[in-house]
Chain A
Amino acid sequence: MAIAFDRDRGMAMLSLMVRSRLFEQKVEALFSSHEMHGTTHLAIGQEAVHAGVSPALDPDDWIVTTHRCHGHTLAKGSSVEAMLAEFFGLSNGLAKGLGGSMHLLDLEHHNAGSSAVVGSGVALATGMALQLKRMDSPNLVVAFFGDGASNRGIVHESMNMASIWGLPVLFLCEHNLYGMSSCADEMVSVDSIAKRGVAYGIESRSVDGNDVEVVYAAVQDAAAYIHKEGKPYLLETRTYRFSGHSKNDQRVYRTREEERVWGQKDPIKILRDRMVSRGHLTEDAYKRLETQEQAVLDEIAEQLIKQRHELTLDEAYSYMYADGGNR
């Protein structure tokens, strides 16, 4: 069941979702203007899953994200500056510029990082949960994965192991309908990935991933289950990637009509309209929120573009082995 956010919670969630959306748009613009290099994977349209997961959990719970990790990293508490610095490849980035946009981590905020090998992070999260359980930690690990990754063998192996060992893993499927260009309707054997939980004896559920109040409540319920039962949980959130898979994706595999229909379920619009109708928000206040968030982003990006603090090759070598040896 959904819960109704009070005014403060609602504003915090809305701010986070707007920040996530504007962040992605800023990143897109910086890539288009070639001020950033490499590639990037935007999650515009999936903000309710960003805001609805980590903020609903204990700050000491861990997350392992995916190549599409910007929103989750923001939601876990990372600074926009450290994230953007990483995208620019700078030494003050989250991984000193060695990881880039697909490999954000922030240990202080219990974000263990992301694997950009689709689905592989699920095993890492499961192993982290194994160690947390061994050490009698009260915390859990969120393993984010998408509908595409749901078909990886390692995801199935991990779910089986988490189930037999009773590990505190929240398998969080962010079902955005497309694995790159492939529609889940043609690639996934079941109409709901939550159904796969049955095969592993894992309690599961599918919810509307564009309604942050629904996601938030479902995540809290899942966490309560994990703690009470000592078992993993599979939560599928159904959402839609408004953006293309990565930069330069012209989205030839789907229709503009389909995008228009999903656009009506914009997660930010849903929360905003709900808050306005509850008297928690005015249109003017919303505009101010957007303007403030945009100004902060623009200022940070502008400062970073002027910076060129990059690691030297020798410094990069020094990180190759954990003992600092370099050959």
Chain B
Amino acid sequence: MRKLSYREAIREAMVEEMARDEQVVVIGEDVGCYGGCFKVTPGLIERFGTRQVIETPVSEEGLVGVAVGAAMMGMRPIVEIMYGDFSTLAADPIINHAAKMSFMTAGQVSVPMVYRTPMGSGTGAAAQHTQSLEVLFTNVPGLKVVYAATPADAKGLLKSAVRDPGPVIFLEHKLYGTEDIVPEGEYTIPIGQADIKRQGTDVTIVTYGKTVFTALEASQVLEDDEVSVELVDLRSLRPLDTATILASVRKTGRVVVVHEAPGFGGFAGEVISQIVEDPITFAALRAPVARVCGKELPTPFNKTLEMQLPPSSHAIVDAVLSLFPSAV
């Protein structure tokens, strides 16, 4: 069993798809000889040339708009935007155009574009390069939104995203060096399927992206307290695998939803709504629902302050234990 880093897994998915289909084109800033801001694209331009690797000026709105137009004509662009924060610049081509093209043309035109961008803090990059802005996209009908945590999931989901006939927002965390087992050979992971990263019986933790690792850490700690955690990694935020969430919560009767983005108006609210709106799952709840999210604060530069921003494993453990009042 071989191991790949998160960035290598993403690169391998791109290489395989670019070799399979010459219409798969990587577009972005510094994605050529520099290898991309987070070094995900080294080697691509050397292997595939400027026909499949297009370096752009600093024009996030323009380059995403160009990718949308090219996709309308048959290209399958994989756009790389250096930081998820710059999605604010590219919001018009994504939200007003790519998301609605199939609908507004009654299916005559589609935009098979993948929009890759990393989210999250922990890099000392201050408030404009560290946000978790996934809800910019999840409230827009017409977009698919995925956020892989592990290298294996990243590879399989990216390949599905490239092959999807419509726009897919592919969010990445910045633990690009994280290594894990990635299967050899061809495989894809369907968009819209959550993954149970850990089986358990007492409580469900629902999360996605980088906080999957934080939640796994918390689950280990809780195991010592004899609390059995079932960890649901959403992988896809839209479409959302509601069935897997509900089945797990019906089984455990307790749920904690975790993400790095601030809680107010965040995606956890949607997950919790899905749970409590389902009568059977609601009836199965044995404790109030809980969430552990990022602090309601722009990311501070100061490292001590920054490290306090995202959910910690301690906070997750505390939230889980609070659902078992008699045990405390």
Contacts and interface: CB of A to CB of B under 8 A. Distances in A.
Contacts of B70: 127-128, 130-131, 134
Contacts of A122: 65
B40 interface: no
Contacts of A107: 108-109
Contact of B104 (A64, A99, A132, A318): A99
B164 A160 contact: no
A235 to B, nearest CB: 20
Interface string A88-122: 00000001101100010101000011010100101
Contacts of B106: 95-96, 98-99, 311, 319
Interface in A3-49: none
Given A134-B51, A325-B239, A157 B62 contact: yes
A157 B112 contact: no
A160 B59 contact: yes
A327 interface: yes
Contact of A319 (B51, B102, B144): B102
B102 A154 contact: no
* Interface residue tally on B, bucketed by range: 35 or more
Interface string B94-122: 00110000111111111110000000000
A276 interface: no
B30 to A, nearest CB: 15
Contacts of B111: 322
B142 interface: yes
B92 A161 contact: no
A320 B103 contact: yes
A124 B108 contact: no
B104 A103 contact: yes
29 contacts: A98-B105, A98-B106, A117-B97, A120-B97, A123-B64, A123-B65, A124-B68, A124-B97, A126-B65, A127-B66, A127-B70, A127-B71, A128-B69, A128-B72, A134-B51, A157-B59, A157-B63, A157-B65, A158-B62, A161-B62, A164-B57, A311-B106, A318-B107, A319-B105, A321-B166, A322-B102, A322-B165, A323-B165, A325-B239
Interface of A: 64, 95-96, 98-99, 103, 105, 107, 112-113, 115, 117, 120, 122-132, 134-135, 153-154, 157-158, 160-161, 164, 311, 316, 318-323, 325, 327
Interface of B: 25, 51, 54, 56-57, 59, 61-75, 92-93, 96-97, 102-112, 141-142, 144, 164-166, 239
